Structure 1
Amino acid sequence: MPFAPSGYQMFRNVKDFGAVGDGIADDTAAINRAASWLSQEDSDERCGEDCGQTTRLGAVVYFPVSNRPLCSSRYYFTQFVGDANARPTLRGSANFTGIAMIDCDPYIPGGNGANWYINQNQFFRQIRNFILDMNDMPWWAQDGDQFYAPTGIHWQVSQAASLQNIDFQMPLSDSRGSTNATGIFMENGSGGFLSDLYFFGGGIGFRAGSQQYTARNLKFELTLTAISMIWDWGFTWQNLEVKACYVAIEAKSVGGLYNQGSASITVLDSHFISVPYPIVLRNGGPHPNIILDNVRVEASASVVLIDGGETILPGSESLLYYNSWGMGNRYTSLNDEGSFDTGFIDPPPQKPPALLDGSGNIFARTKPTYGDLGAGSFVVATDHGISNLAEGDQSDAINSLLADNVGTPIYFPSGVYLVEKTVEIPVGSIIVGELWPQIMGTGDYFGDENSPKVMIRVGKPGDSGIIEISDMLFSVKGPTRGAIMMEWNVHESSQGSAAMWDSHFRVGGGYFSDLTLEECPKSTGKPDRNCMAALMLLHVTTTSSGYFENVWVWTADHDMDVEVPGGVETTTDAQINIYTARGTLIESEGPCWFYGTGSEHHQIYQYQLNNAKNIFMTHIQTETPYYQPTPDATSPYPLGVVSGDPDFSECESESACAMAWGLRVISSQDVLIYSAGLYSFFYSYDQICLEDENCQDRMVETSYTEGFWLYNIFTKGVAQMITPRGGIAAVLAEDNQA
């Protein structure tokens, strides 16, 4: 943390702050000290209630193997990390108070429901490798005059956040009645990704509410209700295994800012065993769009049931298989005007074999922990003359280190690594970051948009083999108008061998970036060339393939170091104008997998698939730049510089037409997208356009594409959800209201 106060401690072992871990002593205070203090010697707080956000005060809080009682227990830009080889147990005590054992966004006492942080801005959080034992907790947890169901994690987050490798051990119902325990409580936010979670017992495994989310590889056993949906615009559940629970997915509630229900639910590659009611919907509606794809159900009464009403999809004691079943509006041919339908989808999606694993599921790969390797098996970048203190050009030193250590895991300690030339990552590289260390491009080399330069080149065209990148952050110190932040060239040598997990792109909005509120305040005037910061963020090239999980490709819309007092639900005070031309360009012939990715606030497009093939995506999320259409998508970067650019020549005088595409699928083949949330919240920083949902005319363009399957798309502030070329009628938002 090069910009933190002197003496600041980034890595914290809870034992150094007084935790005992013997299963007897209450370690709550020690753990909270480790999470909140600036260091062992400095009890001043990090980024708490009246901070709101930070890029300078991150922390890794490490838990060695232990059994730790808790009776209450928080901070922005924090990772809680347990020993992956011997996961520590956090045990809720009999006198537990508060909303959850781990609370990532505390409610303010007497605050009428207000929190410490703005939930949509809750970035850069991670919890992994824990067992949460809730069996000793009271039937109800009290905090002041509030009563809470005992809960493992209160997870109210946004992008660049993840939960992984966590068990929730909860009590079964007994003579006191039905258990109230809840594994995860997530009432709102804008995520996000989580994976590899196990829930045993309890009343509710996961109480879920968010704009959008991707959840993969979750297992529930003997839980009354495995998943209780509060609200969502879109939620993807992949590789669920629900066994001996009464309900698998309950979607009866309403919640969020406008008392919304669940709008769309996608269930992929999942198995429900001895679950009487896999999906239960609200009586009286409205009901969500539902996709069941490659789902097996054994021993059920009703697979889809209206609560207290009719059965939509009958169950059976025998095994039922749903290759592709859906409920919602469908468009299945070029001239289809769309109609509401419930039943099997015919024809079902034709999934390319290259995207499937040996069991016929969509391939997925969990982020490696490298727990089988000792500390001596890693090369530490800062031990080899490389500075992480945001000083000097580190590109030559990094390139030498990578070239000399192919096949050996290279560990980048937290910090900022300035590079003034291209960083070359050779095939065979394994790169692991600590608390998202920044590789930050800067200097004249990246400064000319007419002479683009790659900042990070992953392999060379034609290369195949292994690439593993995890927990890294790629950024720039502006102006870097000609930067292509990452060019991904490597092709897998075995399925999923070229992969990137929990790694993100951030342009502007961070300390030391020279792209903050001071340099680039929001404006609808002439663009400031010093705030033009990237020609493209991620380019997945023609000969490559890749597995991308929880990757956020973000041009900042606000300064993340402007303090926001606790209790504020939203603010425009920190908004900034940063200009990047393109978000994610995919030209790969595949296979490629994109799990839980987002691409936001780029001038021309967020995602473009151009001559792409064998692509799977779930869930993708985009936002249009808030400043558009002043300027619109034709400036400040010129069009036509990159192959496949749109020209917006058809827009003529319509002011909301020449705005950034959320998704373009052009001349592509065999593309499967399961759940996409594509949003336009502003018109020249004004939100009055949301009253009629007309901030932008168009969001998705398709042209000369075959084998394209798009399920559960939802848009905000858009007139035409999908705009095909060739005279085909557009899909209108007004015809597809939830």
Structure 2
Amino acid sequence: MWSPVIFPTLYWPVRLLLTSAECLFGKMFSSLIKLLPLMVGINAQLLDIPAVDELVSSAMLPFEQYAYNTPTESTTPAVAVSTTAAKVQAAAVEAAAADNAYWLADIAHQGVAAFNSNPAGYKVFRNVKDYGAKGDGVTDDTAAINAAISAGGRFGPASRQSSTTTPAIVYFPSGTYIISTSIIDYYFTQLIGNANAIPVLKATAGFVGLGLIDGDQYQNDGNQGWTSTNVFFRQIRNLKLDLTAIPAGTAATGIHWPTGQASSIQNVQIAMSAASGTQHQGIFIENGMLHCVSLLEHSNVVIGSGGWMSDVTITGGLYGANVGNQQFTMRNLVISNAVTAISQIWDWGWTYQGLVITNCQTALSISNGGVGNQLVGSVNVLDSTIQNCPTFVTTAWQSSTYSTGSLILENIALNNVPVAVKGASGTVLAGSAGSSTISAWGQGHKYTPNGPANFQGSFTPPTRPSALLASGSTRYYTKSKPQYAASPVASFVSIRSAGARGDGSTDDTNTIQSALTSAAAANKILFFDQGTYKITRTLYVPPGSRIVGEAYSVIMATGGTWSNINNPVPVIQIGQPGQSGSIEWSDMIVSTAGSTPGAILIQWNLAATVGSGMWDVHTRIGGFQGSQQQVAQCPTGAAVSAACQVAYMSMHITSAASNVYLENVWLWTADHDLESPTDARISVYSGRGLLVEGKNVWLYGTGSEHHSLYQYQFSSASSIVAGFVQTETPYYQPNPNAANGPYPRNSTLNDPDYSSCLGGNCNSLGLRVLNSKNVIIYGAGLYSFFNNYSTTCSTFPLPENCQSMIFSVEGSTSGLVVYGLNTVGTTYMIVKDGVALAQVSDNLATYAATIAYFTL
């Protein structure tokens, strides 16, 4: 197989020639280009990364004939679909007429898109039946559903543009919705069904499209609409996708989902044909997008940077999930009766937790690319059950200086699985016809703490802190995002009905604080209708609070309270030190506007009971309409100004806090303007990402990006489980670097001391673990792509010198375990008390360097 790693001098000139020819002469050159390894763009930057080859293109081949349709953005009359199953139709009609109560549908819809050009006329909540959908199992509802998504001047994939000004929930009452072509997802869209009676999207036998739901539709030029690394703020929940009417031999996909951060799929069912020769696949994530930039810049294929999925049930198909991405976290995937439950096309790092796979020929394939050219960097599987499958994992790993194909299996229950791990030459780890357990097994490069050493085999797993486990179980505690399906609408209090405006200009501080206090006292759930709620003082969230947003409602802090960089003040304060209790908080964004260098966006003090936390809550700092920090105010190359200093810290879990649960949380300082048609880069400055000083903390599917001093710091913390964690260093560094940036070191917070730097390159640390104990990380991606917006420092395979160090372990830290460590752009992968333990040149893998197992 031709790879740029093997033929670097030939690859780029030929790739450039073919791409330029395609830009000039069209798709006649597509087949040639598809035979070359793919490249990626990181966010707004065109960055060539030879990480993925023709495997992505071959996965796309069955869909070439209809992957380039433009989206339907206007309503056409619904039409009846002919069928002989009259009884099934009648039952569907009856079900549609008797929709079960669900608070999200029943509550008054008062959401306002504050910075939309017509906020009074823009509709946030859209019921598909208001746009003509019937849900009767007879009528073709495709056009009506697409009209519900697109109405109101929203941004679809054909626009190739993002925006925060057109958020929408597209709601499906219970029923069966017949579709004949793809439902086209738009930017900042949540597709949500009735949680109490899951609606069905049922494909016709002649269905045409890449996915019943297409999350990033290919356009007429052969490119995906959006750069998938920039597709944020979207969800799919509470839907069943039925492909069973499509002939088994026809290639078909449930969900096409190239995506970035702050995205999720939850409580979704996908049903496919299990007949011999089936070509169906449940979830497809390829993240390949050819984009002709100019004759002087060759095409790039973008890699997605996701993502989160949970509580997904898939039956039948050739593949339950056929997926590739930089990194992803998937929890509670239940897959049965597929040929291959999960086919890992490629990745840098992936974490699977709580898999239940039954009656599949292969549960997990990570062998793509074959021996010597594996395109899977690392995979971690924990707390999972595999049953009645001939093979659990297929791999092409071999002992090598390269570390591709790294794998960790921990706490896996097998039942009637004869082969646990199968290599290129046969069985590597035997299973059994009965029941057995894999306590811990892995392959790849390990550091204990010194290395590297190639290993393949069993090892002693770390002792899991008992406080992090589910009651009566050896598995980690997990909790799905609350949807309050059993709660009647009377259990909710609307923040707008309580008097808040959410218009981005009215000071809503007093109204929101009063509503928070009274809702908690009355055991009510506080509903933040969509809006941007301006506040000028700290909001205190008392114990017992339950808070849920609509389409990512925004709390936006502005004003003098947060003007002093030497006197940081929280925006949202979860409990006060010494308080106990719990809260639930979901589907919201915390932001700032104007100069707020003293803002701690979320401060968590609560000593909670198990189950207290936040789900799909994100910090978004700069880069959106209303932030006053867009490309006009904070362009790249400008000198650091107070106007572009936006946050002291994204989130602080204080030493008083315990039992804090975070799921799918993204702490983001904007690197580009979300309203810019070209994703124009900006330079905004924040000090710190996530500081954890508490104990008993779950960090599932979290990311922290572009803070100047660090992205994650665990300081005198204990009992933390995390995975997958993902970081990016600010693109502007080292201009200024971490030592000379606008946020000075605060010794009280044990900030890193950058007065001397290993190798002299003082850029922000991705992860720092200081004087902490019992920290177990299942997958980490610590990335540094830029040196003052240039990517020459992260060229694969070397020099990888955007910064000298990115992961620092210091002091009396003990009980630290990291599985699947992946880094980009750093010379040293692990540093202990200023001494390098691991360097990138010893652990080259895909594009990221990879270490399977590190312990201290």
TM-score scaled by length of structure 1 = 0.93
Which range moves more in the overlay, 58-67 or 640-649? 640-649
Task: Return the letter of the residue paired with 1:127.
Answer: I
User: How far 1:48 sits from its partner (Å)?
Assistant: 3.8
CA deviations over 1:179-214 (Å, ceiling 9, x no partner): 111110011211011100111111110111000000
Q: Tell me which residue corresponds to 1:230.
A: 345
What SS does the corresponding residue of 1:32 show, helix, strand or coil? helix
Secondary structure in structure 1 of the residue aligned to 2:347: strand
Q: 2-side partners of 1:27 and 1:284: how far apart?
A: 51
How far did residue 468 of structure 1 move? 0.2
Give 1:260 deviation, angstroms.
6.6
SS of match in other structure, 1:551: strand
Q: Does 1:181 align with 2:255?
A: no
| CA distance in 1 between partners of 2:417 and 2:606 (Å) | 45
Which residue does the alignment assign to 2:485?
371
Alpha-carbon separation, structure 2, partners of 1:48 and 1:616 = 37
Distance 2:794 2:828 in 1: 14
Instruction: Determine the structure 2 residue equivalent to 1:679.
Output: 783
Q: Report Cα offsets for 1:474-497 as digits up to 9, x if no partner.
A: 00002111101110011222x22x
Q: Give, in whole Å, the separation in 2 of the partners of 1:668 and 1:252.
A: 37
Per-residue CA distance 1:366-401 (angstroms, 9 max, x = gap): 111101111111000000111111122111111111
- What is the deviation of 1:312? 1.4
Q: 1:567 maps to which residue? A: none
2:204 is aligned to: 93
After TM superposition, give the deviation of residue 150 of structure 1 in Å.
Answer: 0.7
Q: Residue by residue, what CA displacement relative to the aligned partner does 1:578-631 show, whole Å, maximum 9, x if unpaired? A: 10000000000x211000000000000000000000111010000000000010
Q: Deviations over 1:273-325 (max 9, x none)?
A: 01111111248897511110101112223211124x22211222122211111
Partner of 1:179: helix, strand, or coil? coil
Structure 2 contact 310–333 (Cα < 8 Å) conserved? yes
Partners of 2:503 and 2:533 within 8 A in 1: yes
Query: Do residues 612 (structure 1) and 717 (structure 2) align?
Result: yes
Identical pairs, percent: 41
Secondary structure (helix, strand or coil) at the match of 2:409 reads: strand
Contact 1:587 1:610 in 2 (8 A): yes
Residue 135 of structure 2 is matched in structure 1 by 21
User: Who is 2:13 aligned against?
Assistant: none
Choose 475-484 or 259-268, whichever is displaced more.
259-268
What's 2:596 paired with? 480
| Aligned equivalents of 2:144, 2:603: Cα separation in 1 | 44
Instruction: Tell me, in whole angstroms, the C-alpha distance in 2 between the residues paired with 1:45 and 1:486.
Output: 31
Contact 1:640 1:647 in 2 (8 A): no
1:580 and 2:693 aligned: no
Name the CA shift for 1:140/1:530 in 2 (closer, same or farther; >3 Å): farther
Partner of 2:21: none
Q: Offset at 1:140?
A: 5.5
Which residue of the partner structure matches residue 162 of structure 1? 264
User: Map of 1:501-516 to 2, 5 A cutoff?
Assistant: 501-516=615-630
Residue in 2 aligned with 1:459? 575
What's the counterpart of residue 137 of structure 1?
246
Shift, 1:138, TM fit: 3.5
Q: Tell me, which stretches of 5 or more residues in structure 2 are unaligned?
A: 1-112, 288-303, 846-856
Match of 1:5 in 2: 117
Answer whether contact 2:442 2:456 (CA < 8 A) is retained: yes
Retained in 2: the 8 A contact 1:539–1:586? yes
Q: Which deviates more from structure 2 when the two are superposed, residues 286-295 or residues 457-466? A: 286-295
Aligned pair partner of 1:450 in 523, 548, 566: 566
State whether residues 477 and 514 of structure 1, in contact with CA within 8 Å, keep that contact through their aligned partners in structure 2.
yes
Distance 1:651 1:371 in 2: 52
Q: Distance in 2 between matches of 1:669 and 1:151?
A: 44
Mapping 1:242-641, distance limit 5 Å = 242-254=357-369, 261-282=375-396, 287-307=404-424, 309-333=425-449, 336-346=450-460, 348-357=461-470, 358-406=472-520, 407-493=523-609, 495-496=610-611, 498-523=612-637, 526-545=639-658, 546-564=660-678, 574-588=680-694, 590-634=695-739, 635-640=741-746
Is the Cα–Cα contact under 8 Å of residues 624 and 680 in structure 1 kept in the other structure?
Answer: yes
More helix by share: 2
- Aligned partners of 1:260, 1:517: CA distance in 2, in Å? 40
- Contact 2:216 2:256 survives alignment (8 Å): yes
Conserved 8 A contact 2:181-2:208: yes
1:385–1:45 CA distance, 2 compared to 1 (3 A): closer
The answer to whether the Cα contact below 8 Å between 2:697 and 2:719 also exists between their aligned partners in 1 is yes
Could you give the per-residue CA deviations for residues 532-551 of structure 1, whole angstroms, max 9, x where no partner exists? 00010100011212000000
Q: C-alpha displacement at 1:49, in angstroms?
A: 1.2
The whole-number CA distance in structure 2 between the counterparts of 1:711 and 1:46 is 39
Residue 401 of structure 1 aligns to a residue whose secondary structure is: helix
How far, CA to CA, are the matches of 2:493 and 2:451 in structure 1? 58
SS in 1 for 2:197: coil
CA contact 2:374–2:405 (8 Å) conserved in 1: no
Supply the distance in 1 between the matched residues of 2:446 and 2:631 (Cα, whole angstroms). Answer: 44
Is 1:81 aligned with 2:205?
no
Q: Give 1:464 shift.
A: 1.3
Change in Cα spacing, 1:642 to 1:70, as seen in structure 2 (3 Å) is farther
Tell me how far apart the structure 1 counterparts of residues 629 and 117 of structure 2 sit (CA, whole Å): 21
- Residue 45 of structure 1 deviates from its aligned partner by 4.8
Output the CA distance in 1 between the equivalents of 2:169 and 2:598: 34
Q: Is contact 2:203-2:212 (8 Å) kept? A: yes
1:37 paired with 2:148, answer: no
Contact 2:237–2:267 under 8 Å retained in 1:
yes
Q: Deviations over 1:165-188 (max 9, x none)?
A: 011111111xxx411111100112
CA distance in structure 2 between the aligned counterparts of 1:105 and 1:345, rounded to whole angstroms: 41
Question: Does the CA-based 8 Å contact 1:232-1:260 persist in structure 2?
Answer: no
* CA–CA distance in structure 1, aligned partners of residues 394 and 457 of structure 2: 16
Q: Distance in 2 between matches of 1:330 and 1:153?
A: 36
Between the aligned partners of 1:282 and 1:15, the Cα distance in structure 2 is 50
What is the Cα deviation at residue 328 of structure 1? 1.0
Q: Verify the 8 A CA contact 1:37 1:46 in the aligned structure 2.
A: no
Change in CA separation of 1:660 and 1:283 when aligned onto 2, cut-off 3 Å: closer
Between the two proteins, the alignment pairs up a number of residues equal to 699
Question: Contact conserved, 2:374 with 2:397, CA < 8 A, in 1?
Answer: no
Matched, 1:57 2:173: no
Gaps of 5+ in 1: 39-43, 142-148, 565-572
SS in 2 for 1:471: strand
Question: Does the 8 Å contact 2:248/2:277 carry over to 1?
Answer: no
Amino acid corresponding to residue 477 of structure 1 in structure 2: A
Kindly indicate whether the alpha-carbon contact (under 8 Å) linking 1:47 and 1:57 is maintained by their aligned counterparts in 2. Answer: no
- CA deviation after TM superposition for structure 1 residue 90, in Å: 0.6
Amino acid at match of 1:162: S
Q: Which amino acid aligns with 2:312?
A: L
1:251 is displaced (CA, Å) by 1.5
Equivalent position of 2:800 in the other structure: 693
How many angstroms apart in 1 are the aligned matches of 2:368 and 2:124? 40
2:507 match: secondary structure: coil
Q: What is the alpha-carbon distance in structure 1 between the residues aligned to residue 536 and residue 699 of structure 2? A: 29
Q: Does 1:66 align with 2:178?
A: no
Q: Given the alignment, which residue of 736, 752, 757 partners 1:651?
A: 757
Q: Distance in 1 between matches of 2:639 and 2:435?
A: 63
